[in-house]
Amino acid sequence: MKDILLQAFIASIAGGVISLDRSAAFQIMISRPIVAGPLIGIVCGSLTIGIVIGAILELLWIGDLPVGGHIPSHETAAVVIAVAIAASMKGVLPEKGLIGLCILMVIPFAVVCQKADELVRKFNKYYYFKTIESIESGSVSGVWRFNIMAILTLLVINILIFFIFIVSGIFGIIHIHPLITDRFISALAGITVILPIIGIASALNTTHGIKGGAVIFFMAFIISFYLIT
């Protein structure tokens, strides 16, 4: 149990750092599910699960972009939590069924994380006004200090939320898995097959050009290769 909690904590820290890439820092696209999934998979010792979940969630949320004032569903939280849970529970359920279950579990988690992100951004107005006061008083160092404090606030909150949801998901599966029937597991495996199809349709509807299409079909190939092996 200690090993599971330690792995969940490490995944939460890694996920928290990666999630900063969405808007607060870096902005080099490592927060996208197709990148974040494999990274968390490596951290949790299950690269394959990270690649598959990352590709599926990327297809599903590729069109939900932070345009203007819109705050999209927290796709980074979804992939971090799903991969961490699936990697920790590997062997408890058949892998394809486990992936389907984890993806279904994290959809409401992503919505909660989206709302938390909105609250943090509203709270960061405090740092904005403190920065303005610092500039007006002639203290340039305050600009750096309050920006770092805003980033650290988001990082700590993300780590805590990720850890709570990862541990909740793990214990949830531990408690319900004796009640899961073979037919239900088969249905979950079917969801793992259906979700990429839905994701491809969604992605093609929002992506234009040869490059975008090539990326979509590459992700579809990865998922298809996994599903038939």
For residue 134, the model assigns a pLDDT of 82
Is 99 in contact with 53 (CB distance < 8 Å)? yes
> 212: pLDDT confidence band, cut at 50, 70 and 90?
low
Is residue 140 one of the residues assigned to a domain? no
Q: Which of 58, 176, 70 is nearest to 118 (CA)?
A: 70
Is residue 143 one of the residues assigned to a domain? no
- Decide which of 103 and 214 is more confident: 103
Q: How far apart are CA 18 and CA 20, in angstroms?
A: 5
Lowest mean pLDDT among 47-51, 111-115, 156-160: 111-115
Q: Is the model's pLDDT at 60 over the cut of 80?
A: yes
Is residue 60 one of the residues assigned to a domain? yes
Domain residues for the domain of 218 are 2-119+154-228
Percentage of the chain beyond pLDDT 70 is 90
For residue 211, the model assigns a pLDDT of 60
Is 150 in contact with 124 (CB distance < 8 Å)? yes
Q: How far apart are CA 68 and CA 107, in angstroms?
A: 23
Helices then strands, each counted (H, E), the chain: 9, 0
Is 169 in contact with 81 (CB distance < 8 Å)? yes
Is residue 137 one of the residues assigned to a domain? no
pLDDT single digits (tens) 14-38? 999 999 998 878 888 899 999 999 9
Q: How far apart are CA 80 and CA 44, in angstroms?
A: 10
Q: How far apart are CA 48 and CA 45, in angstroms?
A: 9
Is residue 210 one of the residues assigned to a domain? yes
What one-character DSSP code corresponds to residue 93? B
- pTM confidence score: 0.87
pLDDT single digits (tens) 72-109? 788 999 999 999 999 999 988 999 899 999 999 998 99
Is residue 141 one of the residues assigned to a domain? no
Number of C-alpha atoms within 13 angstroms, CB side, residue 95? Answer: 14
Using alpha carbons, list the distances in angstroms from residue 119 to 125, 187, 188. 10, 37, 34
Q: Could you give the maximum distance between any two Cα atoms of the chain, in Å?
A: 68
Structural domain tally of the chain? Answer: 1
Beta bridge partners of 90: 93
Is residue 147 one of the residues assigned to a domain? no
Is residue 145 one of the residues assigned to a domain? no
- Decide which of 35 and 122 is more confident: 35
